[in-house]
């Protein structure tokens, strides 16, 4: 009982002060017929030493870390995380604090989140950023809901088939009890067919959602897509890859109305899927309609500059059912990770990382497609990730790679109908700045290239 403070003698004293005979008496308000009359059936307690032993054994049963070489993608990537990022988020004053409602006791977090918002605006070229959403998928949904509020159109949302299937599934769930139609435009060539997009959009459409680079790794034509949306009064919502902005044009450059992202690449470990970081940015004019917390700068009683949570009137704890979102707990500590990461890499580091990813991915694509039976699924430019089709089947190549110490994937069959049968022999391969030529060569050799 390492965490409980009061000793039996103290508990007695306290009960006496309270005027109760026993601790049980304090629970008198709980009706007898609701009380659990037995002990919970949970595994027996463990000391720290035992816990460490047991969990280390379990961790050892995962194929991860150590000598593995990770080329997996699909929205989560094995990017390098500088040690200084870990150091920043390891400060107890950050990670054991609550949401910074009490401004005087939270200037550290508040300023850090203000800096996060500022950095993300600069990264994306967008006007404003909130202080984080749950992750990339819900950011897309929140963006679509905001588009409905902004446009007043609640009937139709158009999303490209080249958008991460999980993002699309989340959107479908979020819309499942509403009357809004979700139109998914197939992208058999790996990217949007502009003519189809144009056809799908109309004056009932709240927004067009696309991803760039998209789920298959391919580059879309973002400026065109944003223009098409604009032309029918819909918002363009792009899901981008933060690392790609060390090389590619920014959402603000190509006219996106809302730019969201999974921020995992910015210094966040893969940890089997979360916690990650939902980045959410948009045009200034949407500020009072946007979801999520915002930190603003102001001055204090005697004019000193300081930071506070602001525009809270949008949020659930004030506006309740009229709130712009139901989000309360967000992903503060991950936003702090991204802040530290962006501060450390700076413009030049981000460029280096992006170019390394790009170069190595192209080298890997070249090497892997030299393997008989393996080819690129799409003839489209890509950034750091690409889709391979494998005559021998997706699972076979993944297994072969895994046995040689390389993790590829996911296999697109994992996504079922959200991707469809036509790509069930396909796998994703992502190459980050961490991979070396040697590893890529070894992988190709292991796969028979």
Contact 363, 441 (CB under 8 A): no
Beta bridge partners of 393: none
Examine residue 348 and tell whether it contacts a second copy (CB under 8 A).
no
At what angle are helices 332-368 and 107-124 packed, to 10 degrees? 30
Considering only residues 88 to 117 of the shown chain, the ones binding another protein according to CB under 8 A are: 88, 90-100, 102-109, 111-115, 117
Considering only residues 338 to 367 of the shown chain, the ones binding another protein according to CB under 8 A are: 339-340, 342-353, 355-356, 358-360, 362-363
Minimum CB distance to ligand PLP smaller for 329 or for 348 = 329
Minimum CB distance to a second copy smaller for 1 or for 39 = 1
Entry field: residues in the chain: 449
Examine residue 48 and tell whether it contacts a second copy (CB under 8 A).
yes
Binding residue (CB under 6 A) for ligand PLP from 329, 348, 403, 417? 329
Q: Measure the CA–CA gap between 440 and 71, rounded to whole angstroms.
A: 9
Report the SS3 class of residue 230.
helix
Examine residue 9 and tell whether it contacts a second copy (CB under 8 A).
no
Dihedral over alpha carbons 54, 89, 63, 168 (to 10 degrees)? 120
Minimum CB distance to a second copy smaller for 37 or for 90 = 90
Examine residue 320 and tell whether it contacts ligand PLP (CB under 6 A).
no
Angle at 75 between CA 70 and CA 76, to 5 degrees: 40
Minimum CB distance to a second copy smaller for 42 or for 49 = 49
Choices 44-52, 155-163, 189-197, 201-209 (CB under 8 A): range interacting with another protein: 44-52
Q: Measure the CA–CA gap between 295 and 132, rounded to whole angstroms.
A: 11
Minimum CB distance to ligand PLP smaller for 263 or for 332 = 332
154 binds, among a second copy, another protein, ligand PLP, none (CB under 5 to 8 A by kind): none
Choices 75-83, 161-169, 247-255, 420-428 (CB under 8 A): range interacting with a second copy: 75-83
Q: How far is the CB of 292 from ligand PLP (least distance, A)?
A: 12
Examine residue 82 and tell whether it contacts a second copy (CB under 8 A).
yes
Examine residue 318 and tell whether it contacts ligand PLP (CB under 6 A).
no
Considering only residues 52 to 71 of the shown chain, the ones binding a second copy according to CB under 8 A are: 52, 60, 66-67
In the chain, what's the furthest Cα-to-Cα distance?
A: 81
Q: Measure the CA–CA gap between 262 and 136, rounded to whole angstroms.
A: 4
Beta bridge partners of 210: 238
Give the Cβ contact number of residue 449 at 10 Å. 16
Give the Cβ contact number of residue 21 at 10 Å. 10
Report the SS3 class of residue 398.
helix
Minimum CB distance to a second copy smaller for 356 or for 401 = 356
Examine residue 37 and tell whether it contacts a second copy (CB under 8 A).
no
Q: How far is the CB of 46 from another protein (least distance, A)?
A: 5
67 binds, among another protein, ligand PLP, a second copy, none (CB under 5 to 8 A by kind): a second copy
Considering only residues 239 to 268 of the shown chain, the ones binding another protein according to CB under 8 A are: 245-250, 253, 262
143-161 residues labelled b (16+ CB within 10 A) or e (exposed) = bbbbbbbbbebbebbbbbb
Q: Which residue has the tokens 């920014």?
A: 250
Q: How far is the CB of 83 from a second copy (least distance, A)?
A: 7
Say if strands 156-160 and 181-185 run parallel, antiparallel, or are unpaired.
Answer: parallel
Examine residue 298 and tell whether it contacts another protein (CB under 8 A).
yes
CB within 8 Å of 178: residues ≥ 6 apart: 154
- Judged by the rule CB under 8 A, the positions of this chain that interact with a second copy are 48-49, 52, 60, 66-67, 80, 82-83, 87, 90, 92, 433-434
């Amino acid at each position: 009982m390492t965490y409980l403070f009061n000793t039996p003698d103290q508990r007695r004293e306290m009960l006496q002060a309270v005027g109760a005979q026993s601790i049980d008496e304090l629970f008198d308000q709980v009706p007898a017929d609701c009380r659990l009359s037995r002990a919970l059936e949970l595994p027996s307690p463990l000391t720290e030493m035992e816990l460490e032993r047991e969990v280390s054994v379990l961790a050892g049963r995962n194929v991860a870390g150590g000598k593995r070489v990770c080329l997996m993608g699909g929205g989560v990537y094995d990017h390098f995380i500088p040690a200084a990022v870990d150091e920043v988020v390891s400060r107890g004053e950050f990670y054991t604090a609550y949401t910074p409602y009490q401004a005087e006791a939270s200037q550290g977090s508040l300023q850090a989140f203000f800096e996060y918002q500022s950095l993300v605006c600069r990264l994306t070229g967008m006007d404003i950023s909130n202080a984080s959403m749950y992750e990339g998928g819900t950011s897309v949904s929140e963006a679509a809901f905001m588009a409905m509020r902004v446009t007043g159109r609640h009937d139709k949302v158009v999303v490209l088939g080249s958008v991460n299937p999980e993002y699309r599934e989340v959107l479908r769930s979020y819309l499942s009890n509403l009357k809004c139609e979700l139109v998914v435009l197939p992208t058999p060539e790996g990217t949007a067919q502009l003519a189809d997009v144009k056809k799908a959009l109309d004056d009932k459409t709240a927004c067009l959602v696309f991803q760039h680079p998209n789920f298959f790794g391919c580059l879309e034509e973002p400026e065109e897509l944003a223009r098409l949306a604009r032309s029918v009064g819909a918002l363009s919502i792009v899901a981008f890859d933060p690392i790609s902005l060390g090389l590619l044009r920014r959402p603000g450059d190509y006219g996106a109305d809302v730019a969201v992202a999974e921020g995992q690449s910015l210094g966040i470990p893969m940890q089997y899927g979360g916690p990650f970081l939902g980045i959410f940015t948009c045009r200034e004019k949407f500020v009072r309609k946007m979801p999520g917390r915002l930190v603003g700068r102001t001055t204090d009683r005697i004019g000193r500059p300081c930071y506070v949570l602001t525009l809270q009137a949008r949020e659930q704890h004030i506006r309740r059912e009229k709130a712009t979102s139901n989000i309360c707990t967000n992903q503060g500590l991950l936003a702090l990770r991204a802040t530290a990461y962006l501060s450390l890499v700076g413009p030049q580091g981000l460029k280096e990382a992006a170019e390394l990813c790009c170069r190595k991915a192209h080298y890997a694509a070249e090497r892997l497609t030299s393997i008989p039976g393996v080819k690129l699924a799409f003839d489209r430019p890509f950034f750091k990730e690409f889709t391979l089709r494998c005559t021998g089947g997706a699972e076979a190549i993944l297994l072969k790679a895994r046995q040689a110490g390389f993790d590829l994937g996911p296999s697109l069959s994992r996504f079922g109908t959200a991707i469809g049968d036509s790509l069930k022999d396909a796998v994703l391969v992502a190459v980050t700045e961490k991979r070396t030529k040697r590893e890529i060569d070894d992988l190709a050799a292991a796969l028979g290239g």
